[in-house]
Amino acid sequence: MVANRRDSLIDAAAQLLDRGGPAAVTLREVGRAAGVSHNAPYRHFADKSDLLEAIASRELERLADSFGKGGGRPREMLQAYLQWALLYPERFRLTFGPWRGDETALGKAAFRTRAVLVEAVAREQQEGAMPKGDPVRLAALLLASANGAASLALAGHLGRPGRADLSAENLVADLFDYLETATPA
Amino acid sequence: MVANRRDSLIDAAAQLLDRGGPAAVTLREVGRAAGVSHNAPYRHFADKSDLLEAIASRELERLADSFGKGGGRPREMLQAYLQWALLYPERFRLTFGPWRGDETALGKAAFRTRAVLVEAVAREQQEGAMPKGDPVRLAALLLASANGAASLALAGHLGRPGRADLSAENLVADLFDYLETATPA
DNA sequence: ACCTGAACACCGTTCAAGT
DNA sequence: ACCTGAACACCGTTCAAGT
């Protein structure tokens, strides 16, 4: 049942990430959790950044899969996106944080995730439920809004005492409502 | 002309941050740039996080000031926000990244920055240029969208070959256009 | 009150060596 | 091909000591 060593190292690193952020992902602790020495990971990853990148790549693949399930509507996809981000803050920050490489597995996974959303937006447009226009650009706006809403919510930049309605979910819902209003009948 | 030591330490730290991110902000280098020993900063900041928080706090104050200038319209404020974020990526990520404290100077500075935008949104609504509704919530959506657009642009999650129009500025402009269309005449 | 130098524990990475 | 243990340079933080 145990996957190959590379996968088990990614598993261990992801769990450490969830608990304490990127700083808690030390190669010594990763090795200990996987039952190997502290520099055995260097046989599978170029360095620590490469290991973190492998986590992000896996998260993007899973995100694309979750987009595929459900009714295939943009609204549901973005809500799934928010649930994932708020449930796994560190994975979210890592996945959509800055990269280094150009044409890595990460870039391809990100492209696939976006493509699923773009198709859903295009369908919605044809049904007259969203404004016309380039679906790639509209999907980018949706992703940007959800990303920012989740980021600000996690950082405590949205909430203030007595304003529980300022949630990431509500902000994204507002955006969809505005888009619906902006769609000619 | 030299400010007090605390300010000069923040200056040095901010420059190191711009060059190499939070990891490049080592207390040894900060001390060296400020002409003191590597642990003199501990007389002015509780720890490294506290020093980074001081940078973020200062950036938020400056952002609120820049919001105050110009025509006082939300569209211009958000464009100023994007320019700052794209020009100083590391300060942007630090400022809107996760915090620890609750009621620190950082929280107050963030509140002030948001308040300026909220007032501008309320004015726009009264002029019939933006949809009615809670201006706090609409301002939060604007900030979230701009934040996410800048974040994805910086991370390379927006661009792809031959799609230079997928910029943070354009996405935010699209949002303002949708909001205008969604406003009854 | 503010600063210094030494010291501690920790980390990423490299390398010679093992199977 | 994959792993280990020692070693190196570096870092955040603490502490005894100075002015």
Token pair 């952020």: residue:
A21
> What does the pLDDT look like over A27-40, one tens digit per residue?
999 999 999 999 99
Residue type, B1: M
A49 CB neighbours strand C below 7 A: yes
Q: How far is the CA of A27 from the C1' of D4 (A)?
A: 15
Domain ranges of chain A: 67-182
- Determine the topology of domain B67-182 in CATH: Tetracycline Repressor; domain 2 (1.10.357)
Token pair 């969604």: residue:
B182
Q: Which segments in chain B show pLDDT lower than 50?
A: 1-2
CA dist A38 and A42 (Å) reads: 9
Question: What is the reported pLDDT for B33?
Answer: 95
Q: Give yes or no for A100 touching B (CB within 8 A).
A: no
Complete DSSP assignment for B89-105:
HHHHHHHTS----SSSH
Question: What is the reported pLDDT for A102?
Answer: 57
A76: its two tokens = 């549901």
Question: What is the reported pLDDT for A160?
Answer: 75
Complete DSSP assignment for A97-122:
S----SSSHHHHHHHHHHHHHHHHHH
CA dist B121 and B132 (Å) reads: 10
> What does the pLDDT look like over A80-105, one tens digit per residue?
999 999 999 999 999 999 887 655 77
Question: What is the reported pLDDT for A101?
Answer: 63
B167 close to B153: Cβ distance less than 8 angstroms: yes
CA dist B102 and A62 (Å) reads: 34
Q: Give yes or no for B33 touching A (CB within 8 A).
A: no
CA dist B161 and B180 (Å) reads: 31
Q: Could you say which of B97, B141, B157 has the minimum Cβ distance to residue A155?
A: B97
B105: its two tokens = 């100077």
Question: What is the reported pLDDT for A1?
Answer: 33
Closest listed residue to residue A77, CA positions, set A85, A68, A86, A89? A68
B124: its two tokens = 């726009």
Q: How far is CA B24 from the centre of its chain?
A: 20
Question: What is the reported pLDDT for B1?
Answer: 32
Q: Which segments in chain A show pLDDT lower than 70?
A: 1-3, 101-103, 159
CA dist A142 and B5 (Å) reads: 45
Distances from the Cα of B7 to the Cα of B2, B13, B23, angstroms: 9, 10, 20
A97 vs chain B: nearest CA distance in angstroms?
6
Contacts of B97 in chain A (CB under 8 A): 93, 155
Question: What is the reported pLDDT for A88?
Answer: 98
Question: What is the reported pLDDT for B103?
Answer: 58
Complete DSSP assignment for A156-181:
TSS--TT-TT--HHHHHHHHHHHHHH
Token pair 């994007």: residue:
B82
What pTM, to 2 d.p., does this model score?
A: 0.94
B53 close to B22: Cβ distance less than 8 angstroms: no
Q: Count of CB contacts below 8 A, A vs B?
A: 124
Closest listed residue to residue A149, CA positions, set A90, A86, A94? A86
